[in-house]
Structure 1
């Protein structure tokens, strides 16, 4: 074989080897499913949905908004969501069931408010009253009952709690005048205050929780969870995603007018005027898990005392947390 042919053969072999290596390194495009409820969880994602930033050329993000809490729960239990914003107790429940999710940070803190048309200034004035509420046996009920009990009020003995089917049912009853005291969640609380001028927020339950438990930030209402295999297989993507999500939360807090515009454009179920008026009560911000583990531990311990099944029957250990 002459030298020219031998040289050409070598070059072909080298080219094939290089091409083979490059082909192996090319990742197949994949779609990450990011799932969350409409309302406050969706507001923390508005900037990402609107701007659709590219984090990795081979990874796209599908934003899935669920109107039903049951549908979101099903997605988590079937591990169909790669990333999700869920009630914090569901994060613990999923972990205790052995599902592959890690708790990455807090999307929103407590947004429950006790409202009244009466000028109530002390918990003792609630005796013999009726509170219209929702979420029996769930976080709203846990928080309300704990706060009442710690302030010398025995629920179901000193006062009556009337439960409605959903948070959205409480507002109309209160506005109609059938209820004088009601447990309201944002953004409904702001809607009610805008429609019924003599509405007073008599207690911010997140603040009251802080006073009772010593948890500086209150209780973590909604949390961001991420699949463990996504963290393991795409660490750079996850790190950058968390960074831009945290920026999205802060942007939402700092830009209520623009947030309202985007929310209406994206049809997220919250009106602009409600967002602008109630941005402080929406209580988003302070995301990093490494600064909030104590708040989670206090919250989980309180649930264990109240309704253990609500977090899967046991306290989650340190493995639940994903710290950057």
Structure 2
């Protein structure tokens, strides 16, 4: 089975499984986000322009190979994404349309029930691979870093809306040693991390500044394109530290001798915000939809959110069973997934609760650096159902 560092990702569809189609591996060469979208009209160009109401449709979902994808595996199973043994393999060694697993499948462990709509899932290692597909209308829903959702909202003039918060804080500082016990211990150190331009960068810089460390001069931050590069750097030089999200932080403990989680940045965030008189939560990821899709298919959005909540509940309540599906989806190994799930803060927060938490988090980022959220706070239409 392939790893999260592979250069291709597989799009797995319920219809393809049902008809026995061969596996398709789609190589993505797109990076960055298009800013040429003309409001909501162009953002919806990839779908039928007429409203179908409650007519069944296909919901095309993009997610990352991390906690956002992990929270979806119950829905993937309910949608018929996993086959017991007959999945074909792609050229890069990952599974495709019907994903093989030794775990009994098709039993709907999340209790989702029959689905009215079809679902397609595209998993990738980087949001940069998937964001252009949302803007171009090739995806309907995309799980992205929270600050990227705000940036997309600004770039598309409001053509995306947040359906739910799906991941709270998952960032950890990992070291091979016993030298870091407080965030101030990071002064003078070299920190490797992926996620430049998204939640990891802005959360780290905020925490450093608020704790008296200048991220430009007091530390050396090396930005990698993938988490695997950070892990390789730590293996080569145990004197460095890494900022890794779960489940990759858990994976590092097994791969680097003496590695430990030195700081849980969610705890550091809570302490720092409280010391400043604030009350925001650290939010890693959200699920956004093209606004036109949400307006034209409210019943599909309702089904998705209900199924998503059930899927998240299953993953959190039964990490062992969920871990098998997570491995089958080629996210991380079952062993790592089972160990990491309790620390992944996978949620499905909607409505007013979502709006309050997300607004507080984005306001904290905006106050520190307006560019981190696209230059302005999103409008009232940013949060769906709020």
Under TM normalisation by the shorter chain, which class is it?
0.7 to 0.9
1:6 — aligned with what? none
2:356 — aligned with what? 294
Q: Distance in 1 between matches of 2:349 and 2:206?
A: 25
Gaps of 5+ in 2: 1-51, 80-112
CA contact under 8 A between 2:366 and 2:373: conserved in structure 1?
Answer: yes
Change (3 A) 1:232 1:273: same
Deviation of the 1:118 alpha carbon: 2.4
Deviation of the 1:301 alpha carbon: 2.3
1:321 and 2:368 matched: no
1:175 and 2:235 matched: yes
1:101 and 2:182 matched: no
Change (3 A) 1:79 1:305: farther
Q: Distance in 2 between matches of 1:37 and 1:276?
A: 18
Q: Distance in 2 between matches of 1:223 and 1:190?
A: 22
Deviation of the 1:257 alpha carbon: 0.8
Alignment of 1:83-98 (within 5 A): 83-96=141-154, 97-98=156-157
The SS at the match of 1:132 is: strand
2:95 — aligned with what? none
1:236 and 2:295 matched: no
The SS at the match of 1:41 is: helix
Please list the CA deviations of residues 22-64 of structure 1 after superposition, one character each: whole Å capped at 9, or x if unmatched. Answer: xxx99875322122222222111101111215432xx322222
CA contact under 8 A between 1:145 and 1:155: conserved in structure 2?
Answer: yes
Gaps of 5+ in 1: 1-24
1:37 — aligned with what? 64
Please list the CA deviations of residues 164-198 of structure 1 after superposition, one character each: whole Å capped at 9, or x if unmatched. Answer: 33322101211233443221122210011122342
1:142 — aligned with what? 202
Q: Which has the higher helix share?
A: 1
Change (3 A) 1:131 1:269: same
Deviation of the 1:130 alpha carbon: 2.3
The SS at the match of 1:105 is: strand
Q: Distance in 1 between matches of 2:185 and 2:148?
A: 34
Q: Distance in 1 between matches of 2:367 and 2:308?
A: 33
The SS at the match of 2:378 is: coil
1:253 — aligned with what? 316
1:128 — aligned with what? 188
1:115 and 2:174 matched: yes
- TM-score, scaled relative to structure 2: 0.70
1:69 — aligned with what? 127
The SS at the match of 2:347 is: coil
CA contact under 8 A between 2:63 and 2:69: conserved in structure 1?
Answer: yes
The SS at the match of 2:251 is: helix
1:312 — aligned with what? 374
C-alpha RMSD over aligned residues: 2.5
Change (3 A) 1:126 1:41: closer
2:258 — aligned with what? 198
Q: Distance in 2 between matches of 1:194 and 1:200?
A: 10
The SS at the match of 2:346 is: coil
Q: Distance in 1 between matches of 2:54 and 2:265?
A: 48
Q: Distance in 1 between matches of 2:327 and 2:152?
A: 32
CA contact under 8 A between 2:194 and 2:230: conserved in structure 1?
Answer: yes
Q: Distance in 2 between matches of 1:90 and 1:169?
A: 22
2:347 — aligned with what? 285
Change (3 A) 1:194 1:303: same
Please list the CA deviations of residues 205-249 of structure 1 after superposition, one character each: whole Å capped at 9, or x if unmatched. Answer: 122112222476732211112233333333233222211111111
Change (3 A) 1:42 1:165: closer
Q: Distance in 1 between matches of 2:358 and 2:54?
A: 37
Match of 2:336 among 252, 274, 277: 274
Q: Distance in 2 between matches of 1:265 and 1:315?
A: 39
Aligned residues: 297
